[in-house]
Structure 1
């Protein structure tokens, strides 16, 4: 007899090991987590006014959230790779939702910092295991599967600012807790939607985390460097877009809409880029993303009026073309350590980039936001040059087992 808490049977997997039910559940968990963690950017103008902050102190809040959400990801990733239960995929979003929903009730700047630190920790625990869960559910179609997972996060990160801006505009800054209630309900439902047990890929005898890292160190370091530079650009735009729009006379809702245009429309690029990389190769897709996004974002900063929003949306699509690709490449470099590999390019790289936000804010205090967001695009040019130091990848990862080298865990090995 079934009990009320028993998980429903898993849907049959399609050929190639593609588990759509688990993939969609992991994607929703990513959407939920990033929907709430994105509340900070559109609320920054209100936070600055409430606590009388400089742009440097406002940037420090983003640094706290970003680094706490990222720097401990390798630790959570190493733990997740050893676990046979997907506990972090469920508990991480719940912690993030609760902490971010309490932002409007923070009485002091210090309390707000502590809430952001807690939200960052929830996010940090979720992402490595969430990405490895999506990768395991994708079978050999990793580009397509992880692009869906990444797009879920991007869509959540884009919709969150828009929703919280609309609620706060009508109900006041203290109303953030209202938006948190449906999120907590959804986090509870994840206990039923996410299959609790996993079967970690079998590792060759004698392989430790150190040996796995050593064998992939050079390409993984180059990949990390590229993601750091790309993440500084993305973080700077996501964090300071509402403030830039405020300087141009826009409302808090306009700021939230701008973040949605950049990230929400950018989710289209996330889905397209991951899927296309299965056909044309990971490295080519990364180069294309950087080559297109830089002039489009430059045009946004230098343009006012309706065309600025067109360039912003197009720039978001272009920059996110490579979002899933970098995670896929990391997992292919370390197929037996998917959570650790994901944490390096999702967490450690983002955390390193997050350390720059205080500096970006301080520079904006001196030369202005428009000039700062223009100069930061030079990092994309450096990243484009670094792409050519990555190993080439085949055009498709979906070859049958007899045509491709397969690891014991069923993941096609990198070249």
Structure 2
């Protein structure tokens, strides 16, 4: 933690704002990794739960929808509240919800209990993300794209590791072995306590400071239209990602006759590619401009997505790596771009975009599950291949120029 000199609080607060606090950035990334690893348990155990409880694809889609709805609908409200009343330790409270959901998931005996358990995990996620993203922003020292990428790669690494641990721990044994993931939740609480201490000290140091907030030199109408464009891009990105995270294992099993474990390894490769893309997206946005990274990363996926349904196993793996890397580079750039559009509402913006991303992922999973049930799993990928073409609308995003607002 940064040393605090009581004799010169104004100087210390200035330093803590201007300096990139890497220890906190990496702590938040680790917390994000542990949080999203626990979330990744849910889709990773779908093949096990499907066989054990004879679930349909529609029911699997509804499970994802219930989780994602709980993870999305609360986030803007959490962010709006904490914009006005920051809560340094709220993330711990969220992790307790996640822990309760993981314990219930390990002992769920039917569809209804599965729904309740994933809703608890979703509530935990909705409390975690807005404030964790704000801490990342505050610790960035102005390197916002880099900070967001560090934060995001933690989440992507957790999402990638989750299915791998499920393949090693749960698949060879039983659903009840999910309870071992509760240890990860307890570890996350320890990390979040340290972050909460730093955030509390940061708020104390800056309590009396007058801040200069940099606003975009855009009309209110242009800002609103830009936010709408960004949300449409989120829709395209997360609908497509839902087709992979929820159904890629079933697609590989059905098309290439892989075992559950082998299919999980291929899902891990895709999720690892997401992590790599996330790491690249923020710094590239800092260097070349977020608009161009957003445009390239969403629209650039299109040719590879269109080829995927026609590829053999080897090329399916290669294409999934390219798709994952390109798609993931978009989100850090999108989120920081949105934060720069509305810099006075960091929590609400973070909550809105994380919430919308989760919501679109959940809605996508539910609709695609129904589609897979009616038309077959291969048809899902034929249809989803066209979603990245929506990325062309990024051309209408303005290049951000900034002006200083009056001191508040």
TM-score range for the pair, normalised by the shorter chain length: 0.7 to 0.9
CA distance, structure 1, for counterparts of residue 249 and residue 23 of structure 2: 36
CA distance, structure 2, for counterparts of residue 122 and residue 393 of structure 1: 34
Counterpart in 1 of 2:65?
63
Counterpart in 1 of 2:76?
74
Greater alpha carbon shift after TM alignment, 62-71 vs 10-19? 10-19
* Structure 1 or 2: more helix by fraction: 2
Alignment equivalent of 1:362, drawn from 370, 373, 393: 370
Q: CA deviation at 1:162?
A: 1.1
Going from structure 1 to structure 2, the CA distance change for 1:407 and 1:158 (only over 3 Å counts) comes to farther
CA distance, structure 2, for counterparts of residue 281 and residue 334 of structure 1: 17
Within 5 Å, give how 1:213-292 maps onto structure 2: 216-247=223-254, 248-292=256-300
Counterpart in 2 of 1:124?
126
Going from structure 1 to structure 2, the CA distance change for 1:250 and 1:101 (only over 3 Å counts) comes to farther
Greater alpha carbon shift after TM alignment, 304-313 vs 96-105? 96-105
Q: CA deviation at 1:169?
A: 2.1
Q: CA deviation at 1:204?
A: 8.6
CA root-mean-square deviation: 2.7
Q: CA deviation at 1:224?
A: 1.1
Counterpart in 2 of 1:137?
139
2:98–2:185 contact (8 Å) kept in structure 1: no
Going from structure 1 to structure 2, the CA distance change for 1:409 and 1:179 (only over 3 Å counts) comes to farther
Alignment equivalent of 1:34, drawn from 26, 33, 36: 36
1:26–1:130 contact (8 Å) kept in structure 2: yes
2:164–2:265 contact (8 Å) kept in structure 1: yes
Counterpart in 1 of 2:8?
none
2:100–2:120 contact (8 Å) kept in structure 1: no
Alignment equivalent of 1:49, drawn from 41, 48, 51: 51
Task: Give the gaps of 5 or more residues in structure 1.
Answer: 1-6, 395-403, 411-415
Counterpart in 1 of 2:9?
none
Q: CA deviation at 1:293?
A: 1.8
* Aligned residue-pair number: 389
CA distance, structure 1, for counterparts of residue 102 and residue 37 of structure 2: 10
Q: CA deviation at 1:229?
A: 1.7
Going from structure 1 to structure 2, the CA distance change for 1:18 and 1:222 (only over 3 Å counts) comes to same
Alignment equivalent of 1:385, drawn from 377, 392, 397: 392
CA distance, structure 2, for counterparts of residue 276 and residue 284 of structure 1: 9
Q: CA deviation at 1:317?
A: 0.5
TM-score normalised to the size of structure 1?
A: 0.86
